[in-house]
Amino acid sequence: MSEDYNTTLDESEPLWQQNVFVLWFGVFMTGVALSEVMPFLSLYIDTLGTFSKNQLSFYSGAVFAISFLVTAIVSPFWGKLADRKGRKLMLLRAALGMSIVLFLMGNVTNVWQLLFLRALQGGMGGFISNANALVATQTPKKHAGKALSILVTGMTAGNLIGPLFGGTLATFFSYRTSFHITGIILFLVFLLTLFLVKETPHISTPRIANASTKYLWAHIPNKQLIIGLFVTTMLVQTVNTAINPIISLFVRELMHNASNTTFIAGMVAAMPGIATVIAAPPFGRIGDHLGTDRMIKIGFMIAVIAFLPTAFVTSISMLMFFRFLVGISDATMLPAIQTLLAKNSPTEMTSRIFSYNQSFQSLGSVMGPMFGALIASLFDYRGIFIFCTIIIIINAISFNVSTRHLEHQST
């Protein structure tokens, strides 16, 4: 049965390419929706009441973080439903849900309504994990790495463009209008997914289709590998976001309080995303031939080379160069992790596996800024990069243990 299924995929190459193209735009806009509030979230909250400086900081942090926390909690539920009812259905749910929630954010009258809608935004999530799962199951295996790498560039580009997009809309229109416009664009994603994304159902027995996660998990041959990949994803995201709370402050220190600090900080923040967008597709193709586990190990080496010297930089150009290398390491690891998850997940559980991975990634998005702020307060800004290097080494050791177990099973 699986041979017939793979043959069907190979005979419909334009179909999987169309899916990748449409879903790239979907994950791009999801990335934009998640990151566009960064330039003006605190300013928008400040218009919703009279707050002290400490209150404003607290509400801004809570409103920003709650979306990721809720995503981490509910993603497995949506993944389980996707495996039973279909990934396209979950894509439509996520796109329509985010569209409505983002539009309503432009109509709130107090901070609690905004907090609730941000939580609901996290609850409505799952577009990215299900896009990955659908592409992984609907793409011929020989093209899987390339296809998943393209999706990674969509999410990365969305996160990169999001703050610029949101800041531009807020400048030329208003905070509220920026939410309305984003909601309308996400409704367009819903329509494109509805009419253009095609999912060929995987035929499985009713017993398997309705099996519990516990039952399916018990029959996964490489549980240690998959858990190791979850942890790898979380720690990669932790080190990627650890610099977020202090990036502007570190740039200001290097530039000795120059007047264009904000602009330069934006350029520094963009470097990893630019590198990932450029490097992920060719690295995905290389991974299809070289081996996905080897690509991840190469990514760890590049990450150490990128983070450790950053603790000793003395100029903005050096900082930009090493942040660009961080993006190269992400381009090496992230698509390879997705591909390795796809290859080692039963089709009946693919969405659940990808949704658990998204949960761990969301936890990393919460942990990174928290650890970054803590390390900066204890050891100065440069201590963050030493901390990140240690986390990368721990991550590499953990991953090597996981893959050694895999190799042992295959021999």
When divided into structural domains, the chain yields a total of 2
pLDDT band at 180 (very low <50, low <70, confident <90, very high): very high
Instruction: Give residue 178's domain range.
Output: 1-200
- Quote the percentage of the chain above a pLDDT of 90: 29
Identify the top-confidence range among 225-229, 341-345, 403-407. 225-229
Kindly state whether residues 325 and 188 are assigned to the same domain.
no
CATH number at residue 267: 1.20.1250.20
Kindly state whether residues 362 and 271 are assigned to the same domain.
yes
**pTM score:** 0.77
Q: Give the mean model confidence (pLDDT) for residues 380-384.
A: 88
Are the CB atoms for 265 and 330 separated by under 8 Å? Answer: no
Among 147, 170, 200, residue at a domain's last position: 200
* Cβ-proximal residues to 117 (8 Å cutoff; 6+ apart), any chain: 101, 104, 105, 108
pLDDT at 156 over 70: yes
pLDDT at res. 4:
43
pLDDT at 142 over 50: yes
pLDDT at res. 262:
66
pLDDT at res. 304:
96
Kindly state whether residues 184 and 225 are assigned to the same domain.
no
Q: What's the rounded Cα separation, in Å, for the pair 135 and 148?
A: 7
Kindly state whether residues 217 and 193 are assigned to the same domain.
no
Kindly state whether residues 109 and 165 are assigned to the same domain.
yes
Query: What are the pLDDT digits (tens) for 21-45?
Result: 999 999 998 888 877 776 677 788 8
pLDDT band at 405 (very low <50, low <70, confident <90, very high): low
Among 148, 183, 200, residue at a domain's last position: 200
CA angle 332, 375, 256 (to 5 degrees): 90
Burial of 119 (0-12, 13-18, 19+ CB in 10 A): buried
Locus of tokens 């602009």: 263
- What the block records as the tokens of 145 is 């790495």
Q: What's the rounded Cα separation, in Å, for the pair 86 and 351?
A: 9
Kindly state whether residues 195 and 214 are assigned to the same domain.
no
pLDDT at res. 1:
39
Kindly state whether residues 213 and 362 are assigned to the same domain.
yes
Kindly state whether residues 27 and 48 are assigned to the same domain.
yes
Q: Give the mean model confidence (pLDDT) for residues 220-236.
A: 88
Q: What's the rounded Cα separation, in Å, for the pair 91 and 26?
A: 9
Among 200, 220, 245, residue at a domain's last position: 200
Kindly state whether residues 194 and 215 are assigned to the same domain.
no
Q: What's the rounded Cα separation, in Å, for the pair 269 and 78?
A: 32
Query: What are the pLDDT digits (tens) for 300-335?
Result: 999 999 999 999 999 999 999 999 999 999 989 988
pLDDT at res. 318:
94
pLDDT at 163 over 60: yes
Nearest to 283 by CA among 338, 361, 221, 208: 338
pLDDT at 221 over 50: yes
Q: What's the rounded Cα separation, in Å, for the pair 303 and 331?
A: 11
Q: Give the mean model confidence (pLDDT) for residues 11-15.
A: 62
Kindly state whether residues 125 and 240 are assigned to the same domain.
no
Kindly state whether residues 221 and 186 are assigned to the same domain.
no
Kindly state whether residues 279 and 194 are assigned to the same domain.
no
First-to-last C-alpha distance (Å) of the chain = 26
